[in-house]
Structure 1
Amino acid sequence: MPAIALIFNAFVWGVSWFPFRQIESHGLHPVWATCLIYAAIAAVMAVLRRSMWHVFALHPGLVLLGLAAGFTNVGFNWAVTQGDVVRVVLLFYLMPLWSVLLAWAFLGERPTLAALARVALALIGVAVVLKTPETDWPIPSSLPDWLGVAAGFSFAVTNILLRRLRAAPGESRALAMFGGCALVAGATALAGTALGAIAPPPLAASAWWGWAVMLGIAFVFANVCLQYGAARLAASATSVIMLSEVLFASSSSVALGAATMDARIWIGGALIVLAAVWSAFARSPGGEDDRPSSLQKDTT
């Protein structure tokens, strides 16, 4: 059951691009959709778990956790509605690279030779994915590419903060991350609308409400499944199972014409996934099981 719960969680996020695109087709930008969905979830949770608010005074790092989770979700949700879904998901799963660098900078964990090898493997995979006949250098060439990379970096920051906030109750971390997603998405949406880059929400139109409600409910159930599964399986098993999101995203997007798969994507994607699997089974420098690092963006 824990494995099935995690697979369901990965499925929700792997196919979330489709309802987000349906919402956008009805006139609501994905950033506004992210803001409204998470604001509703955070409001309900804040009422049901009012006792969690005092924890923020004891653990001020929860604010940073919320911001990191917010940037993760805004970047990912925006990217998968604008670009090639497979390409975005693969760039997002550069997390092993960022985690090594951030753990070195903020946790004092000097990378081992194996960790550096995983970084090199992931970078080679990214170079293969990004290098097209039209590009001279394999660098992100579009807004969705940059959003996918930024979301993956924010995801790694989220995991680092989760490790530093192990003493905080799980419900307070979840509340911080729900609220952070609503806050970051709301600020981004307001700024983008003021600058003319993001269309204001068509509140008079009701066609997108059904998709938004369905997506919000799916996110809540996915979070429950993640908490259930991650608490009962080793972090390595959780991380590997969560990689099934790549499978769900690629198969659904290719089937529905939202992505293309050629030899370059297959090879580069295999290298990135291999680096992520290798990272999942690697032990931390202190030899401990870093269970919080398995709490993916889905904890939001």
Structure 2
Amino acid sequence: SNVISRHLDGVTEGAKAVTVWAGVLVLTLIGLLLQPAELDFMATAATHTWLLLIGVALAIGSMTYAVQYGLARVPANQAIVIFLFELVVASIAAYYLSAERMDLQEWIGAAMIITASLFSGHMEDDQTKEKPHV
């Protein structure tokens, strides 16, 4: 969706963000249909739990809009930094929220992503320096 959003010049950031949220909603509803027991906590959830969930929802919604806003205003080789930062945040959250550990396969994948982004930025710099063919 982020790649496609870069090519939708006539669409506002708000519309792009709403599209992302709609996609998340559809996937969430499908997941809940497959695992309805995941909603059992709602009957016993305390007020502070609901406030935390609302806060997280507002933060995620704000970040989605901010990413769409930023993507529309920076070159692709700079936009990759946003996506790399998302991976860092997701990794840290997985570590602290669910005690996830990175095995060798994940470290190799992370190295491949970082290497590809470095090559991408280097290749784009070379293309912009190249003189036009006459």
Give me the TM-score of the superposition, normalised by structure 2: 0.63
Q: Distance in 2 between matches of 1:181 and 1:249?
A: 16
Deviations 1:102-160 (A, max 9, x none): xxxxxxxxxxxxxxxxxxxxxxxxxxxxxxxxxxxxxxxxxxxxxxxxxxxxxxxx245
Q: Is 1:201 aligned with 2:42?
A: no
* 1:228 to partner: Cα distance: 4.2
Q: What residue number does 2:11 align with?
A: 168
User: Number of residues paired by the alignment?
Assistant: 123
Q: Is 1:183 aligned with 2:26?
A: yes
**Residue 178 of structure 1 aligns to which amino acid in structure 2?**
W
Q: 1:279 to 1:217 in 2, by over 3 A?
A: same
Q: Distance in 2 between matches of 1:257 and 1:185?
A: 19
Equivalent residues in 2 for 1:83-162 (5 A)? 158-162=1-5
* 1:243 to partner: Cα distance: 0.6
SS of equivalent to 1:166: coil
- Assess if the C-alpha contact under 8 Å between 1:240 and 1:277 holds in 2: no
Ranges in structure 1 where 5+ consecutive residues have no aligned partner: 1-157, 289-300
SS of equivalent to 2:37: coil
Q: 1:230 to 1:261 in 2, by over 3 A?
A: same
Q: 1:199 to 1:279 in 2, by over 3 A?
A: farther
* 1:262 to partner: Cα distance: 5.4
- Assess if the C-alpha contact under 8 Å between 2:95 and 2:101 holds in 1: yes
More deviation, 252-261/271-280 = 252-261
Q: Distance in 1 between matches of 2:80 and 2:117?
A: 8
* 1:177 to partner: Cα distance: 2.3
* 1:216 to partner: Cα distance: 0.5
Q: Which of residues 265, 274, 296 is equivalent to 2:115?
A: 274
Q: What residue number does 2:132 align with?
A: none
Q: What residue number does 1:31 align with?
A: none
Alignment RMSD, CA only? 3.3
**Residue 201 of structure 1 aligns to which amino acid in structure 2?**
L
- Assess if the C-alpha contact under 8 Å between 1:253 and 1:259 holds in 2: yes
- Assess if the C-alpha contact under 8 Å between 1:230 and 1:238 holds in 2: yes
**Residue 26 of structure 2 aligns to which amino acid in structure 1?**
L
Q: Is 1:242 aligned with 2:83?
A: yes
Q: 1:281 to 1:173 in 2, by over 3 A?
A: farther
Deviations 1:77-122 (A, max 9, x none): xxxxxxxxxxxxxxxxxxxxxxxxxxxxxxxxxxxxxxxxxxxxxx
* 1:213 to partner: Cα distance: 0.7
Q: What residue number does 1:218 align with?
A: 59
| Higher Cα Rg, which structure | 2
